[in-house]
Amino acid sequence: MKHMPSILLVLSLSCLLGMRGQDSAPAVQSDEQVVPQGGDATPVAPAATRRPIYGETIQLFNGKNLDDWTAFFIGGATDPSEAFFVEDGILKSKGMPIGYIRTRKKFTSYHLAVEWRFDAEKGGGNSGVLMRIISEDKVWPRCIEAQLHSRNAGDIWNIEDFPMDTDKSRQSGRRTKKAAPSNENPLGEWNRYDITLDGGYLELKVNDLIQNVATGCEVVAGPIGLQSEGVWIEVRKIELRPIIGHE
């Protein structure tokens, strides 16, 4: 059963959405070079009046291999196959060793769609989508994490004090809990993350329900990562649409 947020949680999300006008303008990433549009000090108009313009869709996972990815695991290994492999068009992680794969290219502002599931027999567990990785490879690098821990998808984790503002009433240390009860599908069924990172604004939508937002995120280019964190997890889509401007 899917749950709707309470009135107070909706109001808190609405307040954060309204704060979007205070963020910096997004930057457009082309391979390794970031080209700011209007400069970092350019104010962002409210979401209702600013519709993103998207560039060409990029399939970060091609369904065949991980040639466009590198990795880092505890112990220093950098071969994605230490923990990840592709089978029947699905990206699978054994969960060990602990670490992550990340894209070789860097991205700044985008919509990211990720479809994942846990194995019903192996059980749920932990993983996460890492964004704007801006430190050296280590466990864990400075970045924003969209949580994939089973029943906690929609949580935001701030790793190494990445600059951002979230709803203080739902903060617990580096974690900002999702606004509504878990709306993930049962183990073994596919779930979908729709992640929008537009300049300083972050929105996490789980199975069509907005579960979290953040404002004031540092606008910087960085790879996108997927964690190997002790449990089997499967992913069938990692699709990115870069935001190249606004209407």
pLDDT (tens digit, 0 to 9) for every residue of the chain, 247 residues total?
A: 444 444 444 444 444 444 444 443 334 333 333 323 333 333 343 454 579 999 999 999 999 999 999 999 999 999 999 999 999 999 999 999 999 999 999 999 999 999 999 999 999 999 999 999 999 999 999 999 999 999 999 999 999 999 999 999 999 999 999 999 999 999 999 999 999 999 999 999 999 999 999 999 999 999 999 999 999 999 999 999 999 999 9
pTM of the model: 0.81
Residue 4, φ and ψ in degrees, nearest 5: -100, 145
Nearest to 60 by CA among 93, 107, 118, 27: 107
Q: What is the predicted pLDDT for the residue at 177?
A: 98
Domain definitions of the chain by residue range:
7-50+90-239
Q: What is the predicted pLDDT for the residue at 50?
A: 79
**Which overall architecture, per CATH, does domain 7-50+90-239 show?**
Sandwich (2.60)
Show Cβ contacts of residue 99 under 8 Å, excluding neighbours closer than 6 positions: 71, 72, 73, 74, 77, 82, 83, 139, 227, 228
